[in-house]
């Protein structure tokens, strides 16, 4: 199968591209900066082809999409910093280009990689189903633009085998987003629990997320899949305190002991966001109001339907995942 993977510079995009190539698919990757995958030969398939360009550039996208049998669309702007316009450009315009090109070129399958935050307005999610993307009540530019993007993508289900996959907190060796930040803060002695860290949270070991995206691509035209949005995770929620402690332990660091009440963290996060905006900083602030609430409320999901629909099961349990993470740190690979 010929597959376009957009946004292959991130951990999940890169691993997905490699996984597809290893099983013999003809993979093209598209993103702004080189992914390091160009020309990589993984397994039986031909070397990975790389196209560089803006995901919202119609011409670039149309040419990359031409001739493909499937698309895994991961390219997005993430985080909390940036103007609404910047988020709209990457997430909404980018998705619009991918969807229209797929329509125009009759690409039969599109896996739109979304996020659980498109349907989340801050209440605890306990064994939840994947609700409809909500562009009104979601919080922040990222979640709102991703919500709109998911709506646009799923709208194309009339013509294409489209499915939206929302991986919940992907982590693993080489992950700079979750693991990288936690370890950096722990090393700096600035990692604290919000409240007692007792909220149960789903996470997804990266290999399982890759498998799920590949399975979604294979089953995108199935009746049980087409036009649907699914949250995927390891199906093993853990408390925030345990997750932080295990990540720290894997990196050879002590577990966090400091605690911050939610109210303080929430107010501090809001202040940091204002400060960052005023200073025009482009990195993420250490705490945001959204993150504070996320870390203090349960988020875990009913995985039964998605597993049946995608014919997918996580292969790597959390315990093994943490062992792999520890081995990776021990090998000094994060240096």
Partner 1 sequence: MVTTARLPPPGIEGLDPAWSRLVTAVDADAVERTWHVLDSEVTEGTGRGDEVARGGTVLCVHGNPTWSYAFREVLAAPPAGWRVVAVDHLDMGYSERTGTHRPLARRIDDLGRLTAALGLSGPVVLLAHDWGGPIALGWALAHRDQVAGVVLTNTAVHQPEDAPAPSLIRSARLPAMLETVTVRTPAFLRGATALSRPSLPAAVRDAYAAPYASAERRAAIGGFVRDIPLEPDHPSAAVLDHLAGRLGELAGVPVLLLWGPKDPVFSDRYLHDLEARLPQADVHRVEGASHLTPEDADLAGALHRWIPARVPMGPDALPSPGRRTGAPETDTAPLAAGEAATAPADGQRTPLWAALAEPHRADTDAIVEPPAPGDELRRPRRWTFGELAGDVHALAAGLHAHGVQPGDRVACMVPPGRELAVLLYACWRLGAVVVVADAGLGPKGLSRALRSAAPQHLVGIPRALAAAAALRWPGRRIGAGEVPAALRRSASVEVTLDQLIERGYRLIDHGPGPLATHEPDDALPPPPAADAEAAIAFTSGSTGPAKGVVYRHRQLEAQRDALRRAYAIGDDDRLVAAFAPFALYGPALGITSMVPDMDVTAPATLTAAALADAVAATEATLVFASPAALTNVARTAEELRGDQRTALAGVRTLMSAGAPVPAALLRRLAAVVPSAAAHTPYGMTECLPVADIDLTTIEAVGPGNGVCVGRTIPGVEVAISPLDANGAATGALVREPGVTGEVCVAAPHVKDRYDRLAITELTSSRDPGWHRSGDVGPLDANGRLWIEGRLAHLISTAAGPVTPVGIEQRVEAIEHVAMAAAVGVGPIGTQQVVVVVATDPAPGSRQLAPLTLVDRVRSAVPEVDIAAVLVVPKLPVDIRHQSKIDRARLGREAAELLAGRGLGRRRRRPEASVADDNADPNHGDGGGS
Beta bridge partners of residue 2, listed in sequence order? 26
- 24 by DSSP, 3-state: which? coil
Q: What is the DSSP letter of 2?
A: E
Is 175 a binding residue for partner 1 by CB under 8 A? The answer is: no
Place of tokens 């907190």: 169
CA distance to 54, 83, 142, 197, 291, per residue, from 78 (Å): 15, 12, 6, 25, 13
Structure-token pair, residue 26:
């003809």
Place of tokens 């799923």: 154
Radius of gyration of the chain (CA): 19
d(CA 287, CA 285): 5
Q: Are 234 and 166 in contact (CB under 8 A)?
A: no
Give the strand pairing for 161-167 and 229-232: parallel
Is 311 a binding residue for partner 1 by CB under 8 A? The answer is: no
String of contacts with partner 1 for each residue 244-283, x by CB under 8 A = -xx--x-----x------x---x-----------------
Beta bridge partners of residue 50, listed in sequence order? 29
Beta bridge partners of residue 147, listed in sequence order? none
Q: Are 287 and 272 in contact (CB under 8 A)?
A: yes
Q: How far is the CB of 302 from partner 1 (least distance, A)?
A: 4
Catalytic residue among 81, 92, 107, 142: 142
Stretch in the footprint of partner 1 (CB under 8 A) among 51-59, 85-93, 105-113, 118-126: 118-126
Q: Which residue lies nearer to partner 1 by CB, 93 or 293?
A: 293
Is 124 a binding residue for partner 1 by CB under 8 A? The answer is: yes
Exactly one of 9, 222, 239, 324 binds partner 1 (CB under 8 A); that residue is 239
Q: Which residue lies nearer to partner 1 by CB, 99 or 125?
A: 125
Q: How far is the CB of 277 from partner 1 (least distance, A)?
A: 21
Q: Which residue lies nearer to partner 1 by CB, 29 or 244?
A: 244
Stretch in the footprint of partner 1 (CB under 8 A) among 9-17, 87-95, 211-219, 236-244: 236-244
Is 198 a binding residue for partner 1 by CB under 8 A? The answer is: yes
Exactly one of 38, 51, 58, 126 binds partner 1 (CB under 8 A); that residue is 126
d(CA 52, CA 9): 11
Q: Are 281 and 296 in contact (CB under 8 A)?
A: no
Tell me whether residue 205 is one of the annotated catalytic residues.
no
Structure-token pair, residue 46:
């031909």
Is 303 a binding residue for partner 1 by CB under 8 A? The answer is: yes
Give how many residues touch partner 1 by CB under 8 A: 34
Stretch in the footprint of partner 1 (CB under 8 A) among 111-119, 142-150, 222-230, 233-241: 233-241
Exactly one of 122, 174, 227, 286 binds partner 1 (CB under 8 A); that residue is 122
Q: Are 183 and 254 in contact (CB under 8 A)?
A: no
Return phi, psi of residue 237, to 5°: -65, 150
Q: Which residue lies nearer to partner 1 by CB, 88 or 168?
A: 168
Residues in contact with partner 1 by CB under 8 A are 122-124, 126-127, 195-200, 235-242, 245-246, 249, 255, 262, 266, 293, 296-298, 300, 302-304, 319
User: Annotated catalytic sites, by residue?
Assistant: 142
């Amino acid at each position: 199968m010929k597959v376009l993977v957009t946004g292959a510079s991130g951990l999940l995009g890169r691993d997905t591209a490699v996984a597809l190539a290893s099983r013999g698919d003809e993979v093209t990757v598209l993103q702004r900066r080189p992914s390091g995958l160009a020309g990589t030969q993984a397994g039986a398939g031909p070397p990975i082809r790389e196209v560089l360009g803006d995901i919202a550039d119609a011409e670039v996208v149309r040419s990359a999409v031409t001739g493909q049998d499937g698309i895994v669309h991961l390219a997005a702007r993430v985080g909390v910093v940036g103007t609404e316009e910047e988020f709209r450009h990457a997430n909404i315009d980018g998705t619009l280009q991918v969807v229209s090109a797929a329509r125009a070129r009759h690409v039969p399958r599109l896996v739109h990689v979304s996020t659980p935050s498109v349907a989340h307005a801050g209440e605890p999610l306990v064994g939840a189903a994947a609700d409809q993307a909500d562009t009104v009540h979601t919080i922040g530019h990222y979640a709102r633009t991703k919500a709109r993007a998911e709506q646009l993508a799923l709208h194309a289900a009339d013509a294409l085998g489209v499915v939206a996959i929302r991986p919940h907190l992907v982590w693993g060796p080489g992950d700079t987003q979750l693991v990288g930040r936690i370890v950096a803060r722990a090393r700096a002695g600035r990692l604290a629990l919000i409240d007692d860290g007792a909220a149960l949270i789903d996470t997804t070991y990266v290999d399982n997320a890759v498998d799920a995206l590949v399975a979604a691509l294979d089953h995108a035209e199935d009746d049980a899949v087409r036009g649907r949005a699914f949250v995927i995770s390891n199906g093993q929620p853990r408390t925030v305190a345990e997750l932080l402690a295990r990540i720290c332990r894997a990196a050879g660091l002590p577990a966090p002991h400091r605690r911050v009440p939610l109210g303080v963290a929430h107010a501090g996060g809001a202040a940091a966001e204002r400060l960052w905006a005023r200073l025009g900083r482009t990195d993420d602030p250490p705490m945001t109001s959204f993150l504070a609430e996320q870390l203090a409320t349960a988020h875990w999901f009913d995985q039964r339907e998605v597993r049946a629909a995608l014919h997918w099961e996580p292969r790597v349990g959390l315990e093994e995942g943490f062992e792999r993470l520890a081995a990776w740190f021990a090998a000094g690979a994060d240096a």
